[in-house]
């Protein structure tokens, strides 16, 4: 299997590149993140994955080993093919994908074109443990904001506020202040409810 290509970049497009290796031009399909990181017509090293199907042998190129590993994990999920995985890596960085999976952020994963609710949930179920182990992400730091959100939400319910309305307000506050404490969440929510 071809695992990396080093050569001169002779053609660069947002979805693919051609790398000349000793007179042979290799067409590699890339994500937008890789595209934005590539220099113009210089010597480049791209980490690759060869996707073999009955009707095509497609070579995918990645700027980093991490991006390639996330790609491989994504295509291991039933319902996620190479093109959807590449679209996902174009929409988010590999780190954002790792954190979205680790924090079980279904809406963020679902925001990628071609991924529905069931596929997003399947990605999380299939990959969460692997992502946490492989990339050494601290699950505690990810789930604290969820715990703060839950505590603030239950406090607001006890105070008599509508759960759906309070949930929307808290979500809006967490977008602006992801590290807000329970007390701050409640105070800011009370101002907006």
Q: Which two tokens stand for residue 153?
A: 């939400």
Sorting pLDDT into bands at 50, 70 and 90, what band is 148?
A: confident
114-125 pLDDT, tens digit per residue, is 888 899 899 989
Report the distance separating Cα 27 and Cα 12, nearest Å.
10
Q: What is the pLDDT of residue 190?
A: 83
Is the pLDDT at 143 greater than 90? The verdict is: no
Domains present along the chain, CATH in parentheses: 4-62 (2.40.50.140), 65-134 (1.10.150.20), 141-192 (1.10.8.10)
Q: What is the pLDDT of residue 144?
A: 46
Please spell the DSSP secondary structure of 41-80, one letter per residue: SSEEEEEEEEEE-SS-EEEEEESSHHHHHHHHHHHTSTT-
Is the pLDDT at 1 greater than 80? The verdict is: no
How many C-beta atoms surround the C-beta of residue 122 within 10 A?
A: 17
């Amino acid at each position: 299997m071809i695992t990396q290509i080093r050569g001169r970049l002779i053609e660069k497009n947002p979805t693919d590149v051609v790398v000349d290796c000793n007179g042979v031009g290799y067409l590699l399909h890339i994500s937008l993140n890789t595209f934005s990181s590539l220099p113009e017509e210089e010597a480049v090293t791209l980490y690759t994955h060869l996707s073999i199907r009955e009707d095509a042998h497609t070579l995918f190129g990645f700027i980093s080993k991490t991006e390639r590993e996330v790609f491989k994990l994504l295509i291991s999920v039933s319902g996620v093919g190479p093109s959807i995985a590449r679209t996902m890596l174009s929409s988010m960085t590999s780190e954002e994908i790792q954190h979205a999976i680790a924090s079980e952020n279904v809406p963020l994963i679902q925001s990628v074109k071609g991924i529905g609710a069931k596929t997003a949930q399947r990605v999380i179920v299939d990959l969460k443990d692997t992502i946490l182990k492989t990339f050494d992400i601290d699950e505690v730091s990810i789930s604290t904001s969820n715990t703060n959100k839950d505590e603030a939400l239950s406090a607001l319910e006890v105070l008599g506020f509508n759960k759906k309305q309070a949930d929307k307000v808290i979500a809006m506050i967490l977008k602006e202040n992801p590290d807000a404490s329970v007390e701050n969440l409640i105070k800011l929510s009370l101002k907006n409810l």
